[in-house]
Amino acid sequence: GIRAYNGTVFRLREHIERLFEGLRVIRVSIPLTKEQVMNSIVETLRRNNLSDAYIRLVITRGRGNLGLDPRSCPKPSIIIMTEPVLPAHGKEAREKGVTAVISSLRRDMVDGTSHEVKSLNYIQSVLSKFQAIDSGAEEVVMLDHRGMVSEFHGSNLFIVKQGIIHTPTSAAGILHGVTRARVMKLAEELGYEVRERDITPYELMTADEVFLTGTMAEVVPVVKIHGVPIAEGKPGPVTKEIIRGFQRIIQDPKEGVPIREAISIPAKTRN
């Protein structure tokens, strides 16, 4: 998903860049440029008079027959959905933190169906979410096929140990989240060292702090996993500083595309 804050679509260009990379990998070609897709999104928000919103952009191969031959779907479908989001959304989770369990299901191996392509195949995440629900937790941690920590069922994962921030690598089957990338940059701007590496479940459970990042969640502390408190069982100082910094960032118009402004389209790409 994509978020709009106070009239600005946060990191819209980065979202659309990732979208087009994924479309290229799965061989779906749409008759729109990146600029035209972005304009379609901001126009949808304008027509619905939304300034704080959640946006879901879905592209399918289009209508076809009941077989699996992609050539039967010559015309992709493009769907833009929006819904209002209150500015205070998620405040309680940011202040108190959430709990999690570790899923018994494993992420698929990273191969031709790489998780770097954001697709609608959320079956593992949905089934894992049931484990969180059944356990009374809000979130669920996914492990990769090696047993290394991957991510949460719908968001990226970070741990803090001795003042250093760590996050899993591509090898763990993560989605390269747009929010994740901006938080990593923010952490470095705040003077923290950020390391991408393999993280074991033991390191996760014994971390000084754990937090998640995502478009809808933003930045949220994780204070307990499988009933075991993370450190003191409350949001830690590094996570709190990251949250404060991120809340400043999302209100900066320079961090996105203003809804009231059209995106210029290069002359050679105009219809």
CA distance linking residue 100 with residue 129, whole number of Å: 10
Kindly name the residue from 91, 96, 118, 129 that is annotated as catalytic: 118
Q: Cβ atoms within 10 A of the Cβ of 91, count?
A: 12
Q: 83 and 98 share a domain?
A: no
Residue-number span of the structural domain to which 135 is assigned? 91-249
Domain harbouring 156, CATH code: 3.20.10.10
pLDDT in tens, 50-72: 999 999 999 999 999 989 899 99
- pLDDT of 264 reads 65
User: Is pLDDT at 22 greater than 50 in this prediction?
Assistant: yes
- pLDDT of 18 reads 94
CA atoms within 13 A on the CB side of 137: 24
Torsion sign (Cα): 225, 228, 231, 232: positive
User: Is pLDDT at 270 greater than 80 in this prediction?
Assistant: no
- 3-state DSSP call for residue 101? strand
Q: 135 and 48 share a domain?
A: no
Q: 145 and 226 share a domain?
A: yes
Question: pLDDT averaged over the chain?
Answer: 92
Domain harbouring 22, CATH code: 3.30.470.10
Query: Is the full-model pTM beyond 0.75?
Result: yes
* Beta-bridge partners for 258: 8
Q: How confident is the model at residue 261 (pLDDT cuts 50, 70, 90)?
A: confident
CA distance linking residue 8 with residue 257, whole number of Å: 5
Note if 34 is an active site residue.
no
pLDDT in tens, 104-129: 999 887 665 566 677 777 888 899 99
- pLDDT of 216 reads 94
Q: 14 and 147 share a domain?
A: no
Q: What is the mean pLDDT of residues 244-248?
A: 98
User: Is pLDDT at 146 greater than 70 in this prediction?
Assistant: yes
Q: 170 and 111 share a domain?
A: yes
Q: 81 and 197 share a domain?
A: no
Number of independent structural domains in the chain: 2
Q: 229 and 140 share a domain?
A: yes
Q: 184 and 205 share a domain?
A: yes
Q: 117 and 51 share a domain?
A: no
Q: 216 and 265 share a domain?
A: no
Q: 150 and 51 share a domain?
A: no
Q: 69 and 175 share a domain?
A: no
- pLDDT of 88 reads 74
